[in-house]
Amino acid sequence: MADLTRDDVLKLARLARLTVTDEEADRYREELSAILQYVELLQQADLTGLEPTSQVTGLKNVTRDDQVVDYGTSPDDLLRLAPASEGRHIKVKRMIA
Amino acid sequence: MSQWLPIRELAAKVQAGELKASDLVEQALRTIEEKKEYDAIIATTAERARERAASIDAAVANGQPVGRLAGVPFIAKDNFLVFGAETTAASNILKGFNAPYQSTAIERLEAEGAICVAKANLDAFAHGSSTENSDFMTTKNPRDKTRVPGGSSGGSAASVVLEMAPFALGTDTGGSIRLPASFVGCVGYKPTYGLVSRYGVVAMASSTDVIGPLTRTVEDASAVLDVMSGQDQFDGTTIPRDEAGYIDLSADLKGKKIGIIKEYMSDDLDAEIKAKIQAGIGKLKDAGAEITELSLPSLPLALAVYYIVCPAEVSSNLSRYDGQRYPSSAEDAKDLDESYMLTRGRGFGAEAKRRIMIGTYVLSSGYYDAYYNKAQTVRTKIINEFNEAFGQVDFLVGPTAPMTAFKIGENSEDPLQMYLTDIMTVAVNMAGVPAISIPVGDINGLPVGLQLIAQQRQDRALLGAARAAEKVLA
């Protein structure tokens, strides 16, 4: 399971929206396979009766009052960062060719 | 003797009008310029720093309050959103990004009068252990320019040793504060997970990312933590600060139980490092600590857990960099999909791409249980072992890293070898416990760090023990 093929790498790159060159794909195939082989170490752990942990300090469902909070940043401040905008909208390339 | 006084003394002199904030800022900027060749700094925030210093000096002259860190210059790792310079996380994809707001940590430091003077180099997006993964440049170790300063907060750590400012900020996801502190010979503090707000800091692995100070002394680290820590409405994972705060520590090791982590002191450990750490532990014992040895058998699995959990969270966090909202996108794309592909393909470096793809793989359906779920379950096992250990001792001790600073280029061709530098720091992040690296001496002119670890939320006790340890180790 840990040995990736070149096609696997190209598929992962596509899923993650990354272009990779042919040369890169070969290198990543080796490197990613080595990393996945290393993490196989976990197969030896006895995990009987244990549940996964994703939050380490035990916080649960942190909520706040449903009130508008001023973050001190205006929509205009954020719009100014966009490479292209029109009126109050961020402009992107066409989605359907 | 450092050119900088201890942080609280420095602030007291500014408050009293004996020192001018403007002079301190100029002193910092001058040192940054003089030590340029180390490539520790990506950009200065000179203009804004000078304005802030002038307004602090004016406030002092008018008898107005100026804050607990009045006029103290500092350097932020370039993954903190800060006004006055671009925030790039040392990545090409964020080049040209001017933060529309500042991180909570920076806001809190500024509210107490501290002044950010520059942004420090790092491995791009904090992915690395040497700063060699920076898309811009590799920082040189102040002790030996042919060696790395460690990473990912390598620019911050180097800047402290080069005396560019009294303190620097770093982030620690798998060891990124402690490892460079160990490699350059300064203090690096990693707080309990959630003690310092992550709001406005470029996210890497959100379940382990923490923010902390790099300083010359433990006392300086506690002065900075005292100002930055505590709950923040903009970060739901923050926890309350200790009611006693983190300054005016009782620095005493007498009767403190310290456990040596057996797994970090095995026969595989470099003999010279082992001897240094043992000698350091001997001094802690002479200072009154009760030393025992403990086994945490799952710790050697922590790095494997990390290299599933971290890339998984990285692939999710880095998906936001698609070039559409900020800062720039590929001009030559014919449609939106190609714009994503080209912007990300060109803007991310090799290590970011590796982590994004590994993360995409381990989270994909069919592999999720075998990798991600398994890793998070081993994480529980590691947490349980820490909890058991802290039922028996107050603190755990061991080396920060299994090596001293390595040569630039030595590990850069082998990502897995580079990952192994974090083997003694990552378990702490998986459990969310606080830890500190303190200098314990040199081997062939290269610093070695001793790591002290405490139970979650015992940051005050840990800093007190570290302060006492620092005195006997110096």
Q: Among A63-77, B139-153, B214-228, B340-354, whose mean pLDDT is lowest? A: A63-77
pLDDT score of B250:
87
Task: Give the model's pLDDT for residue B24.
Answer: 98
Give the pLDDT score at A94.
93
Strands of B446-454's sheet, edge to edge? B41-44, B115-120, B73-77, B167-172, B210-215, B187-190, B435-443, B446-454, B395-399, B257-261, B290-294
Q: What's the rounded mean pLDDT across residues B52-79?
A: 98
The reported pLDDT for the residue numbered A70 is 86
CATH for B1-474? Answer: 3.90.1300.10
Q: Of B148, B145, B153, B241, whose CA–CA distance to B192 is shortest?
A: B241
Question: For residue B32, which amino acid is it?
Answer: I
Instruction: Kindly report the nearest CA distance between residue A20 and chain B, in angstroms.
Output: 7
On chain B, the residues whose CB falls within 8 A of the CB of A23 are none
The residue among B134, B122, B129, B136 whose CA lies nearest residue B150 is: B129
CA angle at residue B358 from B415 to B212, to 5 degrees? 70
**Three-class SS state of A67:** coil
> B1 pLDDT exceeds 80?
no
B353 to A56: CB separation less than 8 angstroms, yes or no: no
Residue A97's pLDDT band, with cuts at 50, 70 and 90, is low
**Mean pLDDT across chain B, nearest whole number?**
97
- Write the pLDDT tens digit of every residue in B419-438: 999 999 999 999 999 999 99
What are the chain A neighbours of B329 within 8 Å (beta carbons)? 83-84
Handedness of CA B384, B385, B389, B390 (dihedral sign): negative
Complex ipTM over 0.85: yes
Cβ contact, residue pair B357, A72, below 8 Å: no
How does DSSP classify residue B196?
Answer: B
Greater confidence (B265 vs A65) lies with: B265
The residues of B carrying an active-site annotation are: 77, 152, 176
What is the pLDDT, as a whole number, of residue A64?
87
How many domains is chain A partitioned into structurally? 1
Cα separation, B101 vs B129, whole angstroms: 28
Q: Could you list the residue range(s) of the whole structural domain that residue A10 is in?
A: 6-44
Strand partners, B432: none
How far B141 CA sits from the closest chain A CA (Å)? 27
Span A3-60, pLDDT tens digits = 899 999 999 999 999 999 889 999 999 999 999 999 999 998 999 999 999 999 999 9
Q: Could you tell me the residue ranges of all domains in chain B?
A: 1-474
First vs last C-alpha separation in chain A: 37
Is residue B126 within 8 A of residue B117, CB to CB? The reply is no
A38–B307: do the CB atoms touch at under 8 Å?
Answer: yes
Residues of chain B contacting residue A2, judged by C-beta atoms under 8 Å apart: none
Average pLDDT rounded to a whole number, residues A53-74: 91
Q: How many helices (H) and strands (E) does chain B have?
A: 15, 11
Q: Give the model confidence (pLDDT) of B320-337 as tens digits.
A: 999 999 999 999 999 999
Mean pLDDT of B170-194: 98
Specify whether the CB–CB gap between B341 and B291 falls below 8 A.
no
Report the half-sphere exposure of B411 (CA within 13 A, side-chain side): 22
CATH number at residue A39: 1.10.20
Q: For residue A69, what pLDDT band results from cuts at 50, 70 and 90?
A: confident
- Residue A18 in any domain: the answer is yes
> So what's the pLDDT on residue B35?
98
**DSSP secondary structure, B90-129, as one string:** T-STTTT---SS--HHHHHHHHTT-EEEEEE--SGGG--S
Q: Say if residue B23's pLDDT is above 80.
A: yes
Q: Would the pTM of this model clear 0.90, i.e. be above it?
A: yes
How many CB atoms sit inside 10 A of residue B4's CB?
23
Does B176 have pLDDT greater than 90? yes
- B276 closest CA partner among B150, B419, B449: B449
Q: Is the pLDDT of residue B312 over 60?
A: yes
Q: Answer yes or no: is pLDDT of A1 > 60.
A: no
Least confident of A15-19, B363-367, B449-453: B363-367
Mutation target to probe the A interface, by most A beta carbons within 10 A, among B378, B381, B385, B429 is: B378
Read off the pLDDT band of A96 (50, 70, 90).
confident
Tokens 């043992």, residue located = B278
pLDDT at B413: 87
User: Residue B345 and residue A62: Cβ atoms within 8 Å?
Assistant: no
- pLDDT > 90? residue B391: yes
pLDDT value at position A22? Answer: 87
Cβ within 8 Å of residue B250, ≥6 positions away: B464
Residue numbers in B near A17 (CB within 8 A)? 319, 322, 337, 340-341, 344
Token look-up 């090791």 returns B253
Report the pLDDT averaged over residues A78-87. Answer: 95
